[in-house]
């Protein structure tokens, strides 16, 4: 059933809209905090795509965004574009976005199917997507890029933690509101109450 819905006009439109949302999240170029990695709103948009659209459509929205940015549209952080961005300090974070959207969406859909969808379960999903997927892959790449130790990489990562927490909480609250307003977005099963 999911594969049939994935090629529907509605699904294609949702993927396009969320790819645009991720691109729009870079209009504000972010704040350079450490090691060439800016604090941006991309993580928020990626987590929201997964939490709202589910694993496949959320990941597809991220892939569309990454393809367009790699092709030359200046929609990556700091208005950068092109394949060379992948070799910069943020390359690991870009790669992690697809996985994060998929994992977040998979968890939200699993909670939905088990009738346990709530702000708390969506928050757990966005926390895994952000803290475990994006941060682990992104900072692992940064550690390799900088030839840094684990300790040095943790020191670089710490200033980003408050912003990451705010973004994953806001993404969870917005996703919950969307699922309350559009209960059939992830299928026919209605969401549980908070």
For residue 144, what is the domain's CATH number?
1.10.1760.20
pLDDT digits (tens, 9 = 90+) for 89-112: 889 999 999 999 999 999 999 999
Residue 72 vs residues 41, 43, 100: alpha-carbon distances, Å = 20, 21, 23
pLDDT digits (tens, 9 = 90+) for 68-92: 999 999 999 888 899 999 999 889 9
CA distance 64 to 39: 22
Tell me if 187 is assigned to some domain.
Answer: no
What is the domain extent for residue 16?
Answer: 2-181
CA distance 178 to 18: 13
Tell me if 74 is assigned to some domain.
Answer: yes
Tell me if 110 is assigned to some domain.
Answer: yes
Question: Which residues are CB-contacts of 1 (< 8 A; sequence separation ≥ 6)?
Answer: 187
pLDDT-based confidence at residue 191 (cuts at 50, 70, 90): very low
Residue 127 near residue 170, CB atoms below 8 Å: no
> Reduced to 3 states, what is the DSSP secondary structure of residue 118?
coil
Name the nearest CA neighbour of 91 among 66, 116, 117, 112: 66
pTM of the model: 0.89
Tell me if 131 is assigned to some domain.
Answer: yes
pLDDT digits (tens, 9 = 90+) for 53-62: 999 999 999 9
- Count: domains in the chain: 1
pLDDT at 37 over 90: no
Tell me if 91 is assigned to some domain.
Answer: yes
pLDDT at 189 over 60: no
Q: How many CA atoms lie within 13 A of 153 on its CB side?
A: 17
CA distance 106 to 81: 29
Residue 76 near residue 85, CB atoms below 8 Å: yes
Report which secondary-structure segment, H or E, holds 48.
helix 42-53
């Amino acid at each position: 059933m999911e594969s049939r819905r994935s090629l529907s006009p509605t699904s294609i439109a949702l993927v396009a809209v969320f790819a645009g949302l991720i691109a729009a999240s870079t209009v504000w170029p972010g704040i350079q905090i450490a090691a060439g990695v800016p604090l941006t709103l991309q993580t928020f948009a990626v987590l929201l795509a997964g939490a709202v659209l589910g694993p496949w459509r959320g990941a597809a929205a991220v892939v569309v965004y990454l393809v367009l940015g790699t092709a030359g549209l200046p929609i990556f952080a700091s208005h950068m574009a092109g394949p060379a961005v992948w070799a910069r300090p943020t390359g690991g974070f870009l790669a992690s976005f697809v996985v994060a959207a998929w994992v977040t969406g998979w968890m939200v859909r699993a909670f939905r199917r088990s009738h346990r969808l709530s702000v708390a379960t969506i928050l757990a999903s966005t926390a895994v997507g952000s803290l475990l997927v994006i941060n682990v892959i992104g900072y692992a790449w940064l550690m390799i890029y900088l030839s840094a130790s684990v300790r040095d990489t943790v020191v670089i990562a710490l200033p980003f933690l408050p912003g990451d927490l705010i973004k994953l909480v806001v993404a969870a609250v917005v996703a919950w509101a969307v699922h309350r307003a559009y209960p059939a977005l992830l299928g026919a099963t209605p969401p549980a109450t908070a």
